[in-house]
Amino acid sequence: MTYKSLHTPDGTTPGEAFFSMVAPLLAASTSIVISPLAKKYINSSRFLQFSLSYLMVVLLAILTCTILSNYLYKILTTFAIILATFALFSDKNFNKPNITNKTDYITNHRSFIFIMTMVSILAVDFKIFPRRYAKTGCFGYSLMDSGVGLFIFSNGIVSPEAKGKREAIKKSITGSLLLIFLGIARLITTVYTSYKVPESEYGIHWNFFITLAMLKIFSSFILTIFSIEYIYINATMLMVAHEVLLENGLAMFVFENTERTNLIKANKEGLVSTVGYLALYLYSVYFGYIINKQEKALEKILRCLKYAIISLLLHVAFAHYFGISRRLANAGYCYWVLFLGIYSTVSHFIVQEYLSDRSVLSSYLFYAINYNGLVFFLLANVLTGLVNLSIDTNSVGPAPTLAILSIYSLICCGVVSILYNKKIKVKI
């Protein structure tokens, strides 16, 4: 008997989990594509550049996660038609023989993931956020489950190793100290304010900042020993070993409802899932290394699509036998996230190469978020906590909820935009 058979999946369907990300992605792509149409006004005003991206990407992300969630496919179709229309008038771009080395598409992908994460972590606390989009208890697909893994994927593709550089272990450990500090600070704050944090996510003392720190440290050790060109082999061995251990009792240890009498039991979700996340991170680093190679645009697209298909097939195989669980970060989940991440990255690349004007490859807001990504994420977490401590989110109606989410997202986007405008990069 497998551990999958002991639990009923919740969340949503794989299709809705996929398209709930694709609809805002198409909107983000459209905002970049249409920018040249208002070039005379947009490029001369950073405020107008910011406003266009905020309205088309951030506000739409809020709406698709709340009151427009039941109209997801209509929204997706609308933006797909808009992009297809632009593609019809961009046929000449498909014959370009040049080798590309612009990485704005990576900026667009990362910023898009940051925005979806920022919106979801607060929206989930309100009634108008669909429960099927929230994190699953044991097994299943959901928008928020995907977002956790995609955040890790987005960090992996821009790591020093992905750019062909080896980061010294000492530097990696030093760099993760701040993440550990943030994790401890979050723990102290939640305990002091009696802020309710589900133990089933990472455990009692563990949190996502600790996971990020552990990934940075462990991946540095592995990438120092093994060549980046073959790191996917190490990632695969780690993923398979993780799945074998889960199948042979580790998953039951995580899911069993027993008292958390020691540090290991208290933080079993965080400890166990870190192994799966480490494999996902190593895959992401390898993918980042691959896409950083200079090659023709069409060759890059075909290569990315190959990896996306392989990831999807592996996901289907593992999910069929063992289920998909964010809580365990098992193989089914990690390959699903890898598929979504590669799909998102190659989609942004196609827009950059074939649909966008060469003078506008990204938006001002996307550059700003990518410039201070972790500041953006940290600010979103702090504001989310303040909102939850200030009001009873379960009693707030739809209109006030949208107002709160709009102001919250405007503050997050506004702060990083101001920092970017002043070229202030906070090293976190």
Alpha-carbon gap, residue 124 to 39, rounded angstroms: 36
Q: Inform me whether the pLDDT recorded for 99 exceeds 50.
A: no
Of 183 and 354, more confident? 183
Mean pLDDT to the nearest integer, 357-386: 88
Mean pLDDT to the nearest integer, 402-413: 97
Residue 130 lies in a domain: yes
| Both tokens assigned to 174 | 């030093």
Q: Inform me whether the pLDDT recorded for 345 exceeds 90.
A: yes
Phi, psi for residue 152 in degrees, rounded to 5: -70, -45
pLDDT at 39: 59
> 237, exposed or middle or buried, with CB in 10 Å at 0-12, 13-18, 19+?
exposed
Closest CA to 115 of 360, 382, 370: 370
Q: How confident is the model at residue 95 (pLDDT cuts 50, 70, 90)?
A: very low
Q: What is the reported pTM?
A: 0.93
pLDDT by residue (tens digit) across 123-167? 999 999 999 999 998 899 999 999 999 999 999 999 999 988 887
Of 38 and 226, more confident? 226
Q: Which one of 28-42, 80-94, 183-197, 305-319 scores highest in mean pLDDT?
A: 305-319
Name the DSSP class of 142. -
Weakest-pLDDT range from 30-34, 77-81, 298-302? 30-34
Question: How would DSSP label each residue in 197-219?
Answer: --HHHH-SS--HHHHHHHHHHHH
Mean pLDDT to the nearest integer, 359-384: 89
Residue 428 lies in a domain: no
Spell 309-347 as b/e; 16+ CB within 10 A means b. eebbebbeebbeebbbbbbbbbbbbbbbbbbbbbbbbbb
Q: Which one of 1-15, 166-180, 266-280 scores highest in mean pLDDT?
A: 266-280
pLDDT at 164: 83
Residue 409 lies in a domain: yes
Q: How confident is the model at residue 428 (pLDDT cuts 50, 70, 90)?
A: low
Weakest-pLDDT range from 171-175, 321-325, 330-334? 171-175
Q: How confident is the model at residue 97 (pLDDT cuts 50, 70, 90)?
A: very low
Into how many domains does the chain fold? 1
Distances (CA, A) of 122 to 196, 211, 240, 409: 14, 20, 34, 10
**Residue 37: which residues within 8 A CB-CB, separation 6 or more?**
none
Spell 83-117 as b/e; 16+ CB within 10 A means b. beebbeeeeeeeeeeeeeeebbbbbbbbbbbbbbb
Taking the alpha carbons at both ends of the chain, their separation in whole angstroms is 45
pLDDT by residue (tens digit) across 309-330? 999 999 999 999 999 999 999 9
Q: Inform me whether the pLDDT recorded for 380 exceeds 50.
A: yes
Residue 299 lies in a domain: yes
pLDDT above 70 covers a percentage of the chain that reads 91
pLDDT at 3: 55
Distances (CA, A) of 333 to 203, 210, 280, 344, 413: 19, 20, 9, 17, 30
Q: Output the average pLDDT for the chain.
A: 89
Mean pLDDT to the nearest integer, 187-205: 88
Q: Are 11 and 148 contacting, i.e. CB atoms less than 8 angstroms apart?
A: no
Weakest-pLDDT range from 96-105, 269-278, 288-297, 412-421? 96-105
pLDDT at 245: 96
Q: How confident is the model at residue 44 (pLDDT cuts 50, 70, 90)?
A: low
Residue 426 lies in a domain: no
| Both tokens assigned to 313 | 């097939």
Query: Helices 364-371 and 104-123 sit at what angle, rounded to 10 degrees?
Result: 80
| Both tokens assigned to 273 | 């899932």
For residue 168, give the H/E element and its range.
Answer: none
**Residue 200: which residues within 8 A CB-CB, separation 6 or more?**
137, 269, 327
Residue 268 lies in a domain: yes
Residue 21 lies in a domain: yes
pLDDT by residue (tens digit) across 237-263? 999 999 999 999 999 999 988 888 899
Q: How confident is the model at residue 86 (pLDDT cuts 50, 70, 90)?
A: confident
pLDDT at 363: 85
Q: Are 304 and 342 contacting, i.e. CB atoms less than 8 angstroms apart?
A: yes
pLDDT by residue (tens digit) across 233-242? 999 999 999 9
Q: What angle do CA 207, 213, 218 make, to 5 degrees?
A: 125
Beta strands 10-11; 295-296: pairing state: unpaired
Q: Are 354 and 93 contacting, i.e. CB atoms less than 8 angstroms apart?
A: yes
Give the structural domain span for 228: 3-421
Q: How confident is the model at residue 94 (pLDDT cuts 50, 70, 90)?
A: very low
Q: Inform me whether the pLDDT recorded for 386 exceeds 90.
A: yes
Single-letter amino acid, residue 198: P
Name the DSSP class of 295. E
Q: Where are the alpha helices (DSSP H) in 226-330?
A: 231-245, 251-255, 263-266, 268-291, 297-322
Q: Are 190 and 206 contacting, i.e. CB atoms less than 8 angstroms apart?
A: no
Q: Are 281 and 156 contacting, i.e. CB atoms less than 8 angstroms apart?
A: yes
Alpha-carbon gap, residue 278 to 272, rounded angstroms: 10
Q: Inform me whether the pLDDT recorded for 1 exceeds 50.
A: no
Weakest-pLDDT range from 70-79, 82-91, 378-387? 82-91
pLDDT at 9: 64
Alpha-carbon gap, residue 186 to 298, rounded angstroms: 45
Q: Which one of 37-46, 93-102, 177-186 scores highest in mean pLDDT?
A: 177-186
